[in-house]
Amino acid sequence: MRRVAKAGVSAGLTHLDERGRARMVDVGGKPETLREAKASALVRMSQATLSLINEGRAGARGEKPSKGDVLAVARIAALQGMKQTAILIPLCHPVRMVGSEVDLALDPSLPGVRILVTARALDRTGVEMEAMVGASVAALTIYDMVKGNERGVEIASVRLEKKRGGKSGVWVRGMGDERPGEAPSRALSLRGPRPTRHRSGV
């Protein structure tokens, strides 16, 4: 029977010692288990820019050539970002990643791109940060690919959707553990006319 994380917010900051100094949490005594985390992000833009992505013409303007397949580049960026998390985030442990998935979908209702990144590792600590960094880097890459067409593109709602593994068990967004005063939210679903999925072991 799987364990579901209890509602509420942890009272202490685990990355601070008793004197308030930053530290890397000691995970040496934990067993190596399979860990998984899913994180999402939204990239909002005009319908015209979204159409350019769909047509493979993002970045094109006048005689300037397009930058190519935006979603393909964003997928690779997400994978690279996940593997660089321990370098980018000071107190993160390097983890042994064993697999990943990057889901990207064009959604005219935003309008924009929905991103969902799954990270898996066999290690002593979770991969929440790897998933969130992957989603963030994918979103930033999409911005870089289309900024020549629209500077006002917005990156929004980078967040953890689900995690499993380790002592705390399973956590799913919307299960009732939001902060006081925060409305429950539903996990992001990928919608759109052209969903694109990528799976890769790393």
Question: Any idea which residues carry the catalytic annotation?
Answer: 144
Among 137, 146, 142, smallest CA distance to 72 is for 142
Instruction: List, in order, residues 6 or more apart from 21 with CB less than 8 Å away.
Output: none
The values of phi and psi at residue 65, to 5°, are -70, 160
Give the distance from CA 149 to its chain's centroid.
Answer: 24
What crossing angle do the helices spanning 128-146 and 47-55 adopt, rounded to 10°?
90
DSSP category for residue 200: E
Instruction: List, in order, residues 6 or more apart from 112 with CB less than 8 Å away.
Output: 42, 43, 44, 45, 50, 106, 153
Asked if residue 174 lies in contact with residue 9, where contact means CB atoms within 8 angstroms, the answer is no
Which whole-number Å values give the CA distances from 87 to 16, 51, 100, 200, in the listed order?
Answer: 19, 35, 19, 21
